[in-house]
Amino acid sequence: MLLGVHDACFPLDPDGDSGHGSPYSSTGREFLRFAAELGFTGVQFGPQGRTSPANASPYDGTLFAKSTLSVAPGPLARDDRWQGLLPDKALAALTVSRSAHADRRADHARAWRTQPALLRTAFAQFTQRFPADSPLAREFAAFQRDQADWLSWDSQFHALAVQHGTLDWRRWPSPDKHLWTPSLGEEAACARRREEIAEKHAGEITFAAFCQFLVHTQHASLRQELNGLGLKLYGDLQTGVSHTDLWRYGSLFLSNYRMGAPPSRTNPDGQPWGYPVLDPLGYAAHDDATPAELPGARFVRARVLKMLEEFDGLRIDHPHGLIYPWVYRVDDPHPLHAVQHGARLFAAPDLPDHPDLARYAIVRRSDLAPHPHHPRYADDWVRKLSEEQIDRHGALFSILVDTLASKGGKVEDIACEVLSTCPLPLAAVLARHGLGRFRVVQKANPANRRDPYRTATAEPSDWVMLGTHDTPPIWNVFDQWKTSDFIAEWARYLASRLEPALERQTPLANRLSRDPVQFRQAYFADLFLGPARNVSIFFPDLFGMKEIYNRPGVVHPDNWTLRVPPDYARIYRSRCEVGQALDLAGALAMALRARSGSPSPHDGLIAALERESRRPGRT
């Protein structure tokens, strides 16, 4: 049972908060201890990469470097290991400049203004007070050696962004803008330029590396603490590639296509994400080259290895991107039109509007839907696959699974974000590895027995959840249902799940329809009735919050800003008492009673959970 919460969402730290939450602050750690006490067995972070002042989405962040906005200032001043890298007056200044809504909303603009200055103060203290043979300096040097594969070029990117005054490397002069993707004959000149940058900007490069050292060290400390509490830490392997990473790895991607989401039940218009698409020739076996030797495969393996150094499990964001991506042309001036008329990268053997994709086709025309007007994005566009075709679709995903196994991980440590669409190639690859999908119950049609979002249709390997970071909080949804027939439909479905005796299902459905508190409790209990063994809860659903965290496909000033309220424990207790928060104890008791019957071998546990559910002022 995972609690989902992104870095920026963590509660305000009164000891020093730049406008961006941090799991590494004292209040962040207290919140995670609270989660452990509630019974969660793991925590799901969002992507932790560095974003930009203009785009706060963690799903557009860097793949290797962490966001230094997540560095918790308080420990740098208070904890013994950091020996006062930040003076008290620096923390006091943060409190004075805090916005009026800092306790409820992250302020990314303020964080980008204040956090770099704090980190420069810490770096100045470090260079002045810690000689090369001091323990902290030796630890920093070891970090630089261990992470050199990505840290060296990322730090150079930072130095060049400072020099040129912009993070947009496309506006840099040559050769800096194509330092890692030189044209034929320019390789030697670019190599010399990289050496020149390393010498000329050594101070700025070291500062960038030091900031990464701080956030990585704080992360390692937190993971150790969480493991001691019995909490597994899950990381989010995003499908997108950041602008920074494209500067370094641009040669690995197709130049004429981008990845997006096709029209679907979740997104009827589709979404032109603009994410780069890995060139299959860089990871698929060909010309006597094994996938392990190819640059695209090494890139994916390096990403997974770094995440496994930092997390106990992985959430795979949009695994379609690894297995069966939907792509669209970059030469179409209208991205929405382009994505709506895109195609599957590996399932376009002869499309007249996508002739360039034929070379990547894994399937044949005879494997596809026979009707010429059948939607290309439909789950049944591909009708049949051979074992060899499944192998080829799963080339990148196999790298992920094999890398996990090499580090002692289990396939059960992977959660795949498969929502409304699960086409045959994706389903076949996941089935080969014994992996399930997401069942987002707020999207379910309870009257449709085949609806993929119903918990009753789940498999044991699936993950069930009330919503995700891209859906409205369930409490918002409940308000919308008050004026619809959905409550009665849901009540009948829940009664069939909770009451095995047919003659008692209709009276129970009637009670649930009339009593909003009992209805919500039954709705929550349904998460735990099985057969899915995994439950994920995003933090607004836990606390009864109605504010939307993210509106997918829409630029909105409130996106990615919602925070856990600082008085979360009091709010949770008081709202549970009136049925306005997710009462875990009550939901678990109801589910356990329904699953085990009466009398039950678990009667003692059920009674204890019910007492906890009813107890005023509980913690």
Q: Which two tokens stand for residue 303?
A: 């990403």
Across the beta sheet with 253-261, what order do the strands follow?
271-278, 253-261, 326-329, 343-344
User: What confidence category does residue 266 fall into, taking pLDDT thresholds of 50, 70 and 90?
Assistant: confident
Q: Are residues 331 and 406 in the same domain?
A: yes
Range of the domain at 617: 483-619
Last residue in a domain, options 408, 436, 464: 436
Residue count of the chain, please give it: 619
Q: Are residues 377 and 349 in the same domain?
A: yes
* Side-chain-facing half-sphere of 206: CA atoms under 13 Å: 13
* CATH number of the domain where residue 60 is located: 3.20.20.80
Residue 474 lies in a domain: no
Contacts of 258 (CB under 8 A, 6+ apart): 272, 273, 274, 275, 276, 277, 327, 328, 330
Any bridge partners for residue 327, and if so which? 259, 343
User: What confidence category does residue 92 fall into, taking pLDDT thresholds of 50, 70 and 90?
Assistant: confident
The whole-number pLDDT of residue 371 equals: 87
Q: Are residues 85 and 207 in the same domain?
A: yes
Last residue in a domain, options 179, 194, 222: 222
Last residue in a domain, options 407, 436, 465: 436
Q: Is the pLDDT of residue 619 over 60?
A: no
pLDDT in tens, 543-592: 999 999 999 888 899 999 999 999 999 999 999 999 999 999 999 999 99
Count of domains in the chain?
3
Q: Is 283 exposed, middle or buried (0-12, 13-18, 19+ CB in 10 A)?
A: buried
Compute the radius of gyration of the chain from its Cα atoms: 26
Q: Which two tokens stand for residue 143?
A: 């970090």
Sign of CA dihedral 295, 299, 304, 310: positive
Any bridge partners for residue 2, and if so which? 42, 536
Average pLDDT, the chain: 94
User: What confidence category does residue 617 fall into, taking pLDDT thresholds of 50, 70 and 90?
Assistant: very low
Q: Are residues 43 and 154 in the same domain?
A: yes
SS3 of 209-261: the string is HHHHHHHHHHHHHHHHHHHHCCCEEEEEECCCCCHHHHHHHHHHEEEEEEEEE
Residue 462 lies in a domain: no
Q: Are residues 332 and 400 in the same domain?
A: yes
Residue 454 lies in a domain: no
pLDDT in tens, 195-242: 999 999 999 999 999 999 999 999 999 999 999 999 999 999 999 999
Cα separation, 327 vs 345, whole angstroms? 6
Residue 123 lies in a domain: yes
Cα separation, 110 vs 112, whole angstroms? 5
- 92-98: long-range contacts, CB 8 A cutoff, minimum separation 24: 94/16, 94/17, 94/18, 94/118, 95/14, 95/16, 95/17, 98/17, 98/19
The whole-number pLDDT of residue 372 equals: 79
CB 572 within 8 A of CB 37: no
- 366-375: long-range contacts, CB 8 A cutoff, minimum separation 24: 375/263
Q: What is the DSSP string of 522-565?
A: HHHHGGGSSS--EEEEEHHHHHT--S-S--TT---TTTT-B---
Cα separation, 82 vs 217, whole angstroms? 11
Q: Are residues 259 and 406 in the same domain?
A: yes
